[in-house]
Amino acid sequence: MPHLVLLYTPNLDAEPSADMTALCRSLADTMRQQRDESGQAVFPIGGIRVLAYPAAHHAVADADPARDYAFVYLNLRMARGRSAAVHQSVGRALEACAKAHFAALLAERYIGITLQIDEGAEVFDAKNSSIHPLFRT
């Protein structure tokens, strides 16, 4: 963990400037750059996951076909233990990244972007990875 999952309306796939793969990379890089109050990395590099899924079915607003609404929902799930200040700084950084990525679309079409960060106790948490050891020093 952390895992950032994006759900989006599939009409964005027809927009070259949407480029969800590029957005995933930018968001992962933004996560990698985050530091806490002591200057330590907020997230382990090997644990960063950003995944984007087009919604198979969707309904947005009033369904006016002339408006062709689009929507992106970003949900970051992280383990407990980070300060409220870190939550806010991470949220602001990810929001800025997403807004910059979608700036042209925000200016020319109807699109909503929501970012939420969830933190909580897991009732079960199993991790198996051959990626993490690559980044241990």
Mean pLDDT, rounded, for 48-73 = 94
pLDDT digits (tens, 9 = 90+) for 24-51: 999 999 999 999 999 999 999 999 999 9
Q: For 3-122, give the CATH class.
A: alpha beta
**Residue 135 has what pLDDT?**
82
Cα angle: 59, vertex 70, 107; to 5 degrees: 150
HSE of 4, CA atoms in CB hemisphere, 13 A: 27
Mean pLDDT, rounded, for 78-102 = 96
65 versus 19: which is more confidently predicted? 19
pLDDT above 90: residue 1 = no
Beta-carbon contacts of residue 35 (< 8 Å; ≥ 6 apart): 41, 42
14 versus 130: which is more confidently predicted? 14
pTM of the model: 0.90
- Of the chain, the end-to-end C-alpha distance in Å amounts to 19
Helix (H), strand (E) at residue 93 = helix 84-101
Instruction: Give residue 63's pLDDT band: very low, low, confident or very high (50, 70, 90).
Output: confident
Give residue 49's identity as a one-letter amino acid code: R
CA atoms of 96 and 27, how far apart (whole Å)? 10
Q: In what order do the strands lie in the sheet with 70-78?
A: 49-54, 3-8, 70-78, 111-119
Mean pLDDT, rounded, for 58-69 = 90
Nearest to 92 by CA among 104, 105, 76, 80: 76
